[in-house]
Structure 1
Amino acid sequence: MEEYIIKFSQYLKGEKNVSPHTLRSYSADLNEFLNFLKKEKIPLKVRYIDHLTIRRFLASLQRRGLSHATMARKLATLRSFFRFLCREEYLEVNPTLGTRTPKIAKKLPKFLDLKEVFALLESPDEKHILGLRDRAILELLYATGMRVSELVGLNVNDVDLLGGVAKVWGKGGKERLAPFGTEATRALHNYLMRRETLHPGEGERGLFLNKSG
């Protein structure tokens, strides 16, 4: 078993050109599997390893309280290792076939509370044009809930300050109207009054510009 781990490491380093960090990670996972085989008194011959051995290994990781993400990574290492052995004809059947990857729980996004939202909105320095721009961006995002990709696609004529509405182009080129309130209107007005100081190029109609226009 150890000789195959060495061959696999040489393959990763020589042919796959993986980073030293990735190589250490693969080696650590395989050595952990090797120690499991020794502890369970399973013969250290690849032909004795089957899908039940893999499942027992995953079960041992779960009993130790490892996260599903860590278990999934270790299983991915074993899959790569045994796929290599099969390709090099050291092994006929990949024992990881049919073993399901542990489901990785999706973490819920962390939302800002109201105090944090107001602090964010007040953070740009409105003494400078870029601060005015950033304040307008934040107010518009907060008021309309539009995506950032939709916001960066806005042109000057897509925003109606009198009506308090922005014409937004969403997924699939679908157009919709996104209303906004007085704070966003004020921030947009202040920014637009000084937008020309960013020196937009001739014919540039993009609403939000960077410092180079």
Structure 2
Amino acid sequence: MEDRLLQFARKSTGCTPRLGEEGGDAMNTERKHTQPKAQRPSQLRLSDDEVTLPPRLAHIQNLPWLDCYDQQLRTENKSENTRKTYLNGLRALVETPLPGEDILSASGLESMTVRTLANRLEPHSGRIDRWTHSMSELSPSTYNARLAAARHIIKWLGHRWPDHLVRARTGRKLPRTLSRRELTSVIEAANTSENAIASVVVTVLLDTGMRVSEICNLNLADLEMEGLHAKVLGGKGDKDRIVLFTQRTKECIDAYLPIRTSRLREDDQAFLLNSAGRRLQP
């Protein structure tokens, strides 16, 4: 009778009821066969199956990764120096071979697609670990800069950065500043230089604290001579700010303006012009 009831219950409910110790053992056996075994994070994506790209990269998956990633950095308003640092550091990561792999050629690196790169930089393959081990002799600051580039592209590809790869510890040091004697020597050297714009460049930099790239991008209209200040547009981090300067700097700028007028070849808005009449480059 119990056998008939058990068969009827299986047909009507699709499961095995617990009708005693024997029925419970049967159900436990069935669960053991159907329940999948959990995987540790280190066991994920170790098969030969291709990784899944995020939807935002689906339309560019067959394009060269260098151009696509550089465009991503531009979209994020990364400076030219940051883009160069990222791309140069990432080349070594992409070129790092795993045991049994052939050395990646320069043409292979250039032509590699986004999808191929995503598979090559799969975090659990061990490539990132081998790359970080190869940088053991670098200074902590250089190591961290390259690690930041790697974390950025791994996130862009839709991967998760391995938790065990962390930044190197760096000590906090006071910034190196020029002494009063050194400042005087720099100013005297600029004032006696044969370069006609050396004096105004050094004076403005020291007085305002602007970066070299910022003073090169400065336009004449950005200077407010009466208010003794200048507008820095699109500085580091694409931020705008106001910098102040002294009367001494104003006098130095006034002395430079006739030189600028003599060098002007076109209707150039640049504040600093080289001998060819073009905007001064960093």
TM-score of the aligned structures, taking structure 2 as reference length: 0.38
TM-score of the aligned structures, taking structure 1 as reference length: 0.48
Q: Which has the larger radius of gyration?
A: 2
